[in-house]
Copies of this chain bind each other. A is one copy, B any other.
């Protein structure tokens, strides 16, 4: 696999950050992550918009413009020998003379192998644990993922796959994906303290033909009368959630509306 680092294209293994990088020293970094379908970047315009927005909110000037970045992405995809890949952008505050001041950002763009979710997860649905937490600057795709890494053992112990964050009784998101629930034909998803997922956006578009979509604050207590739940991300697509903490959702099996949306999503990406 190849990557782009500050203007050069080189094998990913040769990309290296010096020790004064503010991403390393001060956690001052942001990223984005998307994938190709049929060799073409999925929802490129929306991903770029989000990446640029994250950069702006972290006061980092973009060292590359959209058209040029697209050219690099296409070149990197071409250099990979795989039919489909993931693409990761990482931008940090760059090398700092005093370990705190930003001078020039460092920007890396790499292709990665895809790690699709196991089929059984779509067939059986996943379990998640609850955590009392809300991400700082949730709307920015910063590199701050300490919380879920610290929860890895708790997730494993509970035989769960991920964590659903709630704070003061309000649900926000999973560690790296968005949250939806169905009550009858109403599709409900949190509107704040979240990273606005591109798969989330895609699914909301797909859903509006068949369901009433509500984007609003979602209370923890609403889980009790939810009929179905699922999570969305570029790797998880539309992944059914059948258990949240001790609570079984619906009858403990992936819901039919969820599976309908997964089918719609698969159809969309199949024709991308």
Contacts and interface: CB of A to CB of B under 8 A. Distances in A.
Majority DSSP secondary structure for residues of A touching B: mixed
Interface string A166-200: 00000000001000000000000000000000000
Contact of A26 (B25, B99, B149): B149
Interface stretch (A72-80, A90-98, A123-131, A218-226): A90-98
Interface string A246-272: 000000000000000000000000000
A46 interface: no
Contacts of A31: 25
A23 B25 CA distance: 8
Interface in A137-188: 137, 142-150, 152-153, 176
Contact of A23 (B23, B99, B108): B23
A67 interface: no
Contact of A27 (B16, B101, B108, B142): B142
Interface string A1-38: 00100000000110111110111111111010000000
A116 B71 CA distance: 46
B146 A28 contact: yes
Interface residues of A, number: 47
A19 B203 CA distance: 31
Contact of A110 (B19, B28, B145): B19
A143 B26 contact: yes
A83 to B, nearest CB: 20
A59 interface: yes
A100 interface: yes
Given A88-B99, A102-B152, A137-B146, 20 more contacts: A16-B17, A17-B18, A17-B21, A21-B24, A23-B23, A23-B24, A26-B149, A27-B29, A27-B145, A28-B149, A58-B150, A59-B150, A59-B153, A100-B145, A100-B148, A100-B149, A101-B152, A136-B147, A142-B146, A144-B144
Interface of A: 3, 12-13, 15-19, 21-29, 31, 58-59, 88, 90, 92-93, 98-102, 108, 110, 112, 115, 136-137, 142-150, 152-153, 176
